[in-house]
Amino acid sequence: MALLPILQHPDPRLRQKAAPVTVFDARLQTLIDDLFETMYDAPGVGLAATQVGVMLRVAVMDCAPKDEPPERVVIINPDILSSADRQDMEEGCLSVPDTSEKVPRYNRLHLRALDRHGQTFEVQAEGLMAQAIQHEIDHLDGKLYIDYLSSLKRERINKKLRKQRQTA
C-alpha cells in the first residue's frame, strides 16, 4: 500500500468528471487499498479517486466513530436512487484543507453501487454516511463542497487558501 498525494483546490483535475469502472483487476484493488491508507493518514472519513488524480468512479469511506471498529465502505459507479430530509450540514474536504462550512445535503438516501469486486449492492444511509456519500459522488462529478456556497464565502475560502500556499 502507498500514501497518495491529495490534490488541492484549485487543481483543475478536481473539476474533471470520472469515468465508470469497467475492469475489476489487481490495479483497482491496489488503488482501493491506497485510497483507504491515504484517507486514514489524512485523516478523513472519505476519499474519491479523483482527489488523487485517478479519474475513475471509485470512492472509499469510513464513518465509524474513532473508538469503534472501522466500517470500510467502497462505492464504485455509485447511483443515488432516492434521497430525503434535506438540511444544512457542516462539511469540510481534504482537497480544500482547513476550511468548513454548512452546505445543503440529504440526511437519508438510498444508494446503488458496485463493491470492490464488481458486485452490485444497495444501502440505505443516514447521517454522516449519507453526507459522505453525497460529498464523494460530487468529487466523482467534478464538484467541490464550496460550489454550494455563496460567491462571497467561496472567495473568502479561496483567499485563505492562497495565503496558506504563499506561507508554505
- Out of 37, 68, 71, 136, the active site residue is 136
Question: In this structure, are residues 49 and 35 in contact, taking their beta carbons and an 8 Å threshold?
Answer: yes
Q: Is 155 in the active site?
A: no
Residue 122 cell numbers, joined: 444497495
The rounded radius of gyration (Å) of the Cα atoms in the chain is 16
CA distance 64 to 46: 11
Residue 106 near residue 134, CB atoms below 8 Å: yes
What long-range pairs does 84-90 form, CB within 8 A, spacing at least 24? 84/108, 84/109, 89/131
User: E strands along the chain, which residues?
Assistant: 46-48, 58-62, 72-93, 96-114, 120-126
- Which residues are known catalytic residues? 136
